[in-house]
Amino acid sequence: MIRVRGARTHNLKNINLDLPHHRLIVITGLSGSGKSSLAFDTLYAEGQRRYVESLSAYARQFLQLMEKPDVDLIEGLSPAISIEQKATSHNPRSTVGTVTEIHDYLRLLFARAGTPRCPEHGIELAAQTVSQMVDQVLELPADTRLMILAPLIVGRKGEQVALFDELRAQGFVRLRIDGEVHDIDALPSLERNRKHTVEAVVDRLRVRQEVKQRLAESFETALRHSGGKAIAVEMDTGKETLFSAKFACPVCDYALPELEPRIFSFNNPMGACPQCDGLGQVTFFDPKRVVAFSHLSLASGAIKGWDRRNAFFYRMLESLAMHYGFDIETPFEHLPTQVQEVVLFGSGGVVIPFHYLAEGGRRITRKHAFDGVIPPWSDATRRANRSWCARNWRSTSPPAPAPPARAAVCVLRPATSPSAARPSTPSPACPSASPSASSPASTCPASAARWRKRSSRRSSPALPSSTTSASTTFPSTAPRTRCPAARRSASASPPRSAPASPG
């Protein structure tokens, strides 16, 4: 309990109060009632002052000693930290621990005093040397019958005929297959579609002090053939002891690098969750928001930008409807669930013939998988987090709490990355853009064409050479189409400047 008696700092009027330890306490009141005077100028100031006074004279010369608050008595006060009221940050990576630098000490503590364990089996992760393995085995009772195994295959299907021939050529005499020891010249036939475990018998001996060198050689042989793992089996009791020369679990091979402070930092790529990048939340596209008007058909605009007004995407929907046998004039909410899944998340590995119109009205057919509406958007948002995509698609991608770091995915459902070998499947932000390899910037052909037409109408002065050199050339085979991204970017940019590079 923190006991405060006779606090008169600033506008406090000789107040007395008791504050319990290990509780979240909120101080409320009108402006000027003394909230900051009590929290910062009394409790924190006295706690910090006492902590600094406990240090040596040499350490105190580097620290600023705070003024003693006007108070009669404060008891039960521990060293305190505070965060300035005006030092608030909207950065999600800024927490109480990082602002006060306590997190740095915690990272150092866990890195130096922590014991890593396998999350599945609870086994301590520790790399053992051969001498440590030998010493552990020699602690067994004398004359214990021991068998040293080298695990070669664990839970893998197949007949393993080639492996058996290789082991026979290397001079191994016995193998343990699925828990049974067999002579290598009388091995049973393994079922092709059943999972098997194969372990090579490296040595069989009795535990004695004089076999120390033999044990070391046997462990080295087992580690060399099994990739750093060995098993010691007590033949009388059947007890098995797993050894690992790597910093990994000997059962499931779960491995961790050597403990370092950066592993425990969510602001470091080494320690951040790979799903949410250490932010604690993920952004995904909500299908209910992507399909803004589910009562409309795909042709009428159930998904913005994917209707008959956009010729490129409309032809893709027609090809998709022809392949799966549905009508694009049917309201989206009445379409089969499978069709809705294909439209939103793609066809997976199913190859679909798509019909496009090239330059001059020539009709071409390209066969490739359909990426869907949502996966390309997700990929574009990850590639350009501060671009037009991130700013304008935020309404369809609400943040959600990130699942545990060991979860399979952090998104609503896995996205199928668009293949780079499909030039006829553009990204949704700009469906017909195909920048030149030598171009420093890229934009939509429709946007560039409108900009050139608009600038030609106005007698604008000649652009500087530095501006004209940033113009982008587009191949003549790019389909001419209108896209919402290009329409908005063209209307938002001034007509007398070159198209700006996105991002």
CATH of the domain at 402: 1.10.8.280
pLDDT category of residue 94 using cuts at 50, 70 and 90 = confident
Same domain? For 236 and 287 the reply is no
Number of structural domains in the chain: 3
Helix (H) or strand (E) holding 121: none
151 within domain boundaries:
yes
3, 41, 43, 217 from 19: Cα distances, Å: 7, 16, 11, 66
155 within domain boundaries:
yes
Residues for the chain: how many in total?
503
Of 409, 437, 465, the residue that ends a domain is: 437
User: 430 pairs with which residues across the strands?
Assistant: 427
Of 408, 437, 466, the residue that ends a domain is: 437
In this prediction, residue 472 carries a pLDDT of: 31
- CA atoms lying within 13 Å on the CB side of residue 127: 10
Same domain? For 387 and 315 the reply is yes
In this prediction, residue 429 carries a pLDDT of: 37
Average pLDDT over residues 465-473: 32
pLDDT tens for each residue of 106-153: 999 999 998 888 888 888 887 888 999 999 999 999 889 999 999 998
444 within domain boundaries:
no
Same domain? For 230 and 319 the reply is no
Q: Which CATH number goes with the domain that contains 197? A: 3.30.190.20
In this prediction, residue 474 carries a pLDDT of: 31
Find out whether 149 and 200 touch, Cβ atoms under 8 Å.
yes
287 within domain boundaries:
yes
Same domain? For 279 and 422 the reply is yes
In this prediction, residue 392 carries a pLDDT of: 57
263 within domain boundaries:
no
pTM of the predicted model over 0.95: no
Same domain? For 362 and 238 the reply is no
Find out whether 58 and 52 touch, Cβ atoms under 8 Å.
no
* 90 or 87, which is more confident: 90
Can you tell me the distance from the alpha carbon of 424 to that of 407, in angstroms, rounded to the nearest whole number? 35
Same domain? For 139 and 34 the reply is no
In this prediction, residue 219 carries a pLDDT of: 92
pLDDT category of residue 388 using cuts at 50, 70 and 90 = low
Can you tell me the distance from the alpha carbon of 251 to that of 14, in angstroms, rounded to the nearest whole number? 65
Can you tell me the distance from the alpha carbon of 433 to that of 445, in angstroms, rounded to the nearest whole number? 6
Contacts of 247 (CB under 8 A, 6+ apart): 116, 125, 126, 127, 255, 256, 257, 258
Same domain? For 175 and 294 the reply is no
The DSSP secondary-structure symbol of 488 reads H
Asked if pLDDT for residue 477 goes beyond 50, the answer is no
Same domain? For 374 and 304 the reply is yes
Asked if pLDDT for residue 216 goes beyond 90, the answer is yes
466 within domain boundaries:
no
Structure tokens at 210: 């004089």
Helix (H) or strand (E) holding 18: strand 15-19
467 within domain boundaries:
no
Asked if pLDDT for residue 389 goes beyond 70, the answer is no
Average pLDDT over residues 332-357: 89
Same domain? For 365 and 279 the reply is yes
Range with top average pLDDT, 24-28, 369-373, 428-432, 469-473? 24-28
Average pLDDT over residues 18-47: 92
> Which residues constitute the domain of residue 394?
273-437
Average pLDDT over residues 57-69: 85
Same domain? For 26 and 149 the reply is no
Average pLDDT over residues 89-93: 76
Same domain? For 407 and 292 the reply is yes
* 485 or 377, which is more confident: 377
119 within domain boundaries:
no
Average pLDDT over residues 26-33: 91
Same domain? For 182 and 278 the reply is no
Of 415, 437, 459, the residue that ends a domain is: 437
pLDDT tens for each residue of 248-307: 777 777 777 778 898 899 888 888 888 788 888 777 788 888 898 889 999 888 988 888
Find out whether 321 and 327 touch, Cβ atoms under 8 Å.
yes
Task: Give the other-Cβ count within 10 Å of 169's Cβ.
Answer: 8
